[in-house]
Amino acid sequence: MVADLTVLAPSPEEPALKVDRLTVAFPGAGAAARSPIVDFSLEIALGEITCLLGPSGCGKTTLLRALGGFARAKDTGGVLFQGQWLKEPTPDIVMIFQENNLYPWLTVRRNVAFGLPYCEGTREEKRVRLEAMLRHVGLEAAADQYPRELSGGMRQRTAIARALVVNPKVLLLDEPFSALDVALRRRMQDLMRAIWETTRTTFVMVTHNVEEAIMVGHRVIVLGGRPMTVLLDERTEATPKDRYAPETLALQRRIEDLIE
């Protein structure tokens, strides 16, 4: 446990994000008719890892963007964050994309520190927090390297550290590990669970990998159809030792059948 990163456990009653009759409108004439998200509702629990799965093109990224305040919603509904309609991105909700978007001209340490000037706390508190985060994701030794000198996993760890060091209330991840090989992907999944154990941040992760969703998530939601609906909403208690357990494999098959 890294004390510097610990936050108070949030009250479990209150949802972190409430999608309430959301219709996403795409810009351009008639485009709203093609929107996969029409009158859609869903609650994302506070302090949990929720994984979103679904066939390609069903609207997962569009939903994630809406959760981040990036989508244009019709004013008949939307996304509620802390009881308020989310109209634009907020520093409390941070999004990480597959391609991680690091600043190539900054070292790992300076990439991770990028958002700290905008946070509360003294210079010394921020310094301690930065170093604790670098240690937590195993990047201390690489802190003075540039993104081009890093492996894919190190780049993604830098992106995760940069997102978490500002202590967001919600972290949205869009297929963050899809470019990584199987072994590295598993290490990143374990790291994500370890980070969650310490910070209890609300994570929402889109993935195409069913096993990953079951192993990382506390809750797995399968989306599909047009307009998009929830096809399956299941809690999962799987730990690494349950990876090949009959219940894990049975849930995996049920989900795969829905996504095909």
3-state secondary structure the chain: CCHHHCCCCCCCCCEEEEEEEECECCCCCCHHHHCCCCCEEEEEECCCEEEEECCCCCCHHHHHHHHCCCCCECCCCEEEECCEECCCCCCCEEEECCCCCCCCCCCHHHHHCCCHHHCCCCHHHHHHHHHHHHHHCCCCCCCCCCHHHCCHHHHHHHHHHHHHHCCCCEEEEECCCCCCCHHHHHHHHHHHHHHHHHHCCEEEEECCCHHHHHHHCCEEEEEECCCCEEEEEEECCCCHHHCCCHHHHHHHHHHHHHHC
Judged by CB, which is closer to ligand ATP: 36, or 217?
A: 36
- Among 36, 68, 147, 224, indicate the residue that binds ligand ATP (CB under 6 A): 36
- The torsion region of residue 119 among left (phi > 0), alpha (psi -120 to 50) and beta comes to beta
Binding segment toward ligand ATP, per CB under 6 A, in 51-59, 114-122, 154-162, 163-171: 51-59
Residue 58, interface with ligand ATP (CB under 6 A)? Answer: yes
Q: In this complex, which beta carbon is closest to ligand ATP, that of residue 52 or of residue 195? A: 52
Taking each helix axis from N to C terminus, what angle separates 182-199 and 152-165, rounded to the nearest 10 degrees? 20
Contact with ligand ATP (CB under 6 A) among 7, 12, 14, 31: 31
Q: Does 54 bind ligand ATP (CB under 6 A)?
A: yes
How many chain residues interact with ligand ATP (CB under 6 A)? 12
- For ligand ATP, the closer of residues 111 and 156 by Cβ is 156
Question: Among residues 47, 50, 53, 62, which is the contact residue for ligand ATP, using CB under 6 A?
Answer: 62
The residue range among 49-57, 110-118, 134-142, 162-170 that interacts with ligand ATP, by the rule CB under 6 A, is: 49-57
60 contributes a contact to ligand ATP by CB under 6 A: yes
- Closer to ligand ATP at the Cβ: 167 or 207? 207
**Segment contacting ligand ATP by CB under 6 A, of 30-38, 92-100, 184-192, 244-252:** 30-38
Q: Can residue 56 be called a binding residue for ligand ATP (CB under 6 A)?
A: yes
Q: How far is residue 260's CA from residue 248's CA, in Å, rounded to a whole number? A: 18
Q: Which is nearer to ligand ATP, 25 or 132 (CB)?
A: 25
Smallest distance from the beta carbon of 149 to ligand ATP, in angstroms?
29
Asked if 57 touches ligand ATP (CB under 6 A), the answer is yes
The reply on whether position 61 binds ligand ATP by CB under 6 A is yes
Binding site for ligand ATP (CB under 6 A): 26, 31, 34, 36, 54, 56-62
